[in-house]
Each structure stands twice: as structure tokens, then as C-alpha cells.
Amino acid sequence: MSTNTLIVVGLVVVIAAVFLVRAILPPDFRGTVGSWTEYFRGPGMLQFIFLVIGGVGASASVRFAPSLRTFPVATVKDYHIDPRQGAIYHEDIRNYSHLTVLARTTESGGNARLTIFRSGLGNNPGESKQLEISSTLWARIDMENSSPSMSLFVEPSTPTDAAQTPQANKATQVDMTIYLTAK
């Protein structure tokens, strides 16, 4: 049903309910026109104004809330990568508007670094982003897309902190999932 049809049906239901209530209530309980007029000038109007303000606020928050925006996923790609091989994976992403990359190492204590290169258009050289991956959590990165292609490179992390031991950097497999949203 269209919105206009729903509005008309709603109005008909409200009008029918008013006439039904008037027919059911005894004549002395209905009140006078003056009492209803006085009510709608005072507290009734105040309630109506706040009802309108609440409705406008609720509909605006639902309409413009970024957490409620969902992206219809067109393609899901899974990779199982050995970071010790140093392979580069290329993807054609020109038909996608949004990218979500999830990655983690499969063994406990393993760390790796994912570098995402996106080629630029025209004089724009493109961009790169790095993501540190560990086995404890799925690392996630969301990106809006304006690039025609993307390259993924996974490498073992190097110890950057004295607290890290070389043992902790032996990631032998990285699981990666890419969600590509169509334009």
C-alpha cells in the first residue's frame, strides 16, 4: 500500500472510532462543546504540541541515524593467506561503493600486517592503509570507494615494542574476508 492510502485508511479509522465512542457513551458523559474547547485550548494543545515535537524528533533520528544505514553486500570474498610468501592480491573494485575488510591470524600469538593499496584516478596517486592483525580479534576496516582497483599485501609483523618477542610474530596464515557493496 502507498503512503497516501495508509493515511486515508488511518483517518477513516479515527473518524469511525470518534463516532463509535459518541454513540456508546451516555449523553451526560460526553461533555459539552465548551468543555472540549477549553480542554483543547489548554492541556490538550500542550499534549498535541509535544506529540508533534516527539514525532518529528523520532522520525528525524531514524532517518538520519548512521548506525541504521545498512549496505547491501553484493560480493563476499574469502582469502587464506600465508604472510611469509609475500604475495600481492589484486581486486577490481570499480563497481563497488563501500569496502569492509575483516582479517585475523589463525594461530594464537600470531601477528601480521595488512596493507591495502587503492589506485587513484587521474592525477591522484591513490592511498594505502595498514591494519595490524592478531588472533585475538577480527581486525576491521571500512572504506568508501572511489578507486578502480585495490591490492592487498600481508606480511608478518616485525617487533616494534621491547615487550614483544620474536616468537609472537610467527603468523603462518591470515584469514581475510572482504565485503564489497555494489554502487
Q: In the chain, what are the domain boundaries?
A: 3-68, 73-158+168-182
Beta bridge partners of 100: 142, 179
From first to last of its 183 residues, the chain has per-residue pLDDT tens of: 677 888 889 999 999 988 887 777 666 665 666 777 777 788 888 888 999 999 999 988 877 776 655 666 678 888 888 888 877 888 888 888 888 888 888 887 788 888 888 886 666 667 788 888 877 678 888 888 878 888 888 888 766 544 555 555 567 788 888 888 887
Length of the chain: 183
79 CB contacts (<8 Å, ≥6 apart)? 89, 152, 174, 175, 176, 177, 178
Q: Can you tell me the distance from the alpha carbon of 179 to that of 56, in angstroms, rounded to the nearest whole number?
A: 35
Sheet with 96-105, strands from edge to edge, namely 73-81, 174-182, 96-105, 139-144
Class of domain 73-158+168-182: mainly beta
